[in-house]
Chains A and B, each alone.
Chain A
Amino acid sequence: MNAPSPALEVLDLTVAYGERPALWDVDLAVPRGTLTAVVGPNGAGKTTLVRAVLGLVRPAAGTIRVFGGPYRERRRLVAYVPQRGSVDWDFPTNVLDVVTMGRYGALGWLRRPGRREREAAVESLRQVGIEDLADRQISELSGGQQQRVFLARALVQDAEIYLMDEPFQGVDALTERAIVALLRELREAGRTVVAVHHDLQTVAEYFDEVALLNVRLVASGRVEEVFTEENLRATYGARGFLERPAVEA
């Protein structure tokens, strides 16, 4: 019997903005049921990688397979947690409403979200520990709460693979612990998570797999095998990664 296809497979992916390549000939396979960190310096193409997988940027070349098939046919299996700062949090709506948006894909045109959708949304809010904020205006949320809202919106999609763009960026310690617990729950349920990550200190603690990216893929695989000083130096440049601040503004 053949081994099951990886949750996510990226082959020869090249993305260019204008003349400059953002990603160059990247090959990556993410095994099912793992937590994978994508790390690399600023401008390494981490976000571009996620956006290319989701079809939000058009690759110049390359193939992307989700559970063995093209993304377009596997959309329902994929959930996306964008960067917190990518939306206007002053939009007139509340927490429950934003989380319910995660069900819009499964609802047809002209169908309004009903009780089932709202119940699923409340359940997701419970999973991220902010069910008491359901009626809160989104403009009144802290950074950590905003991040949890986005996570809940992805959870309500009930996907097989979760693509997260910097889920830990600018969140408080409490939220960070809650997110880590959530990632482990997802792994236990057999789900796959790919997260763009910035804090090199926590990679080994939080993740199983790591992809070191700097336009090209430097290395990818089990954290204990690939997350080596040599590979990090190759990713972040000769002056060493330790000069980098752990948290970016």
Chain B
Amino acid sequence: MIEELFSDYTLRTVALGAALLGVVSGSLGTYAVLRRQALLGDAISHAALPGIALAFLLTASKAPVVLTLGAALAGWAGTLLVMAVVRTTRVKSDSALAIVLSVFFGVGLVLLTHLQRSADASQAGLDRYLFGQAAALLERDLVTIGLFGGVALGVALACWKEFKLLSFDPDFAATIGLRVRAYDVLLTGLLVLAVVVGLQTVGVVLMSAMVVAPAAAARQWTDRLGVMMALAALFGVVAGVGGAVVSSSAERMPTGPTIVLWLTGLVVVSLLAAPRRGLVWRFAADRRRAGRLRLGAALADLDALAVRHGSLEHGHSVSVLELTAGRGVGRSLAALEERGWAQRTAEDEWAITEAGRDEARRRRGG
């Protein structure tokens, strides 16, 4: 497979295209995730469908640049419509997104069905925009992806601090003179670009996963915006290439769903295994914390018993200690012994040591 990647022309084109796509959608998706606009990617991609159909109807061209431009215009129109609805009516943004998404997608499906009835439909290959078909990627598609994606990435880097401030604290940004509305429109426009360049490969239905999932996974591993964006790009590449290569090496396997499976894997691993934020790490931290608490309680119990008996050597049976410290006390006692704070006086009998008393006193704050 690896060898094929470098020798097979089709496979190389597919992999390269998917990698470009992963970089663009992964990095720009970072802002969508951080600004809580994950659904916007979904609305844009669905809203783009009628644009593709209309572009074909009007120009009779199926050149990817033409279709992508049509998709971008429609996606852009849909986004502006969402913003306008939110601004001028009482409809909240989630409802506005849902309305625009389904209306545009519905219109797109009607147009597509109409086109499919009129002979040259399958020839136009418009249907592959629904679920994506990486195997059909050609060199000129790479140029389209590179062109649109490069512009989007370049602008995002040029406006780095502006976009960061806009995402973190838009009100403050406005007070120091940032033209918030303009940058908001610009950033959303870049997101539109990032979405539409992937439509041919990943498809309208699942493209938003390509935008949201890499960034969501990347957030787990880092607390720095730059690193998060780089990681999201990397995850995008991995999923994009993985999905595209697998789907184009199998018959009739749509690319979008295959990429989404890769993304799912990345997200699941990130949610579970990431240090600090991951579930496994947090579970282990909870366990450690609970263990420390139990250890302290067992030490305090031994100390209290020693005080009551006026003797350090007097041993106390595990079953007595279990009454206050619970059934897990054996492990705490072993840990205390390891630190030299408790000692075994007989089988199943324990006492505090000199060092243990000092420690207990220190913990009491005495």
Contact = CB atoms under 8 A, between A and B. Distances in A.
Interface in A1-57: 51, 54-56
A189 to B, nearest CB: 21
22 contacts: A54-B171, A54-B175, A56-B174, A75-B176, A78-B175, A80-B175, A82-B171, A82-B172, A88-B168, A92-B34, A92-B223, A92-B224, A92-B225, A93-B225, A94-B223, A101-B168, A101-B169, A105-B176, A105-B177, A109-B159, A112-B160, A139-B223
B224 A82 contact: no
B301 interface: no
B222 interface: yes
B162 interface: yes
Interface residues of A, number: 30
Interface string B145-159: 000000000000011
A51 B170 CA distance: 13
A247 interface: no
Q: Is the interface of B mostly helix, strand, loop or mixed?
A: helix
Given A91-B168, A92-B219, A92-B228, A55 B34 contact: no
B346 to A, nearest CB: 47
Contacts of A113: 161
Contacts of B186: none
Given A54-B174, A75-B175, A92 B169 contact: no
Contacts of B167: 91
Contacts of A139: 223
B273 interface: no
A113 B164 CA distance: 13
A202 interface: no
Given A55-B174, A75-B177, A105-B176, A86 B161 contact: no
Interface string A109-125: 11011000000000000
A105 B174 CA distance: 10
A107 B164 CA distance: 14
A98 B135 CA distance: 45
B206 to A, nearest CB: 26
Contacts of A92: 34, 219, 222-225, 227-228
B165 interface: yes
A181 B81 CA distance: 49
Nearest to A72: B177
Given A92-B228, A105-B176, A56 B34 contact: no
Contacts of A54: 171, 174-175
A56 B175 contact: yes
Interface string A61-86: 00000000000000100111010001
B272 interface: no
Nearest to A75: B177
B5 interface: no
B56 to A, nearest CB: 39
A137 B223 contact: yes
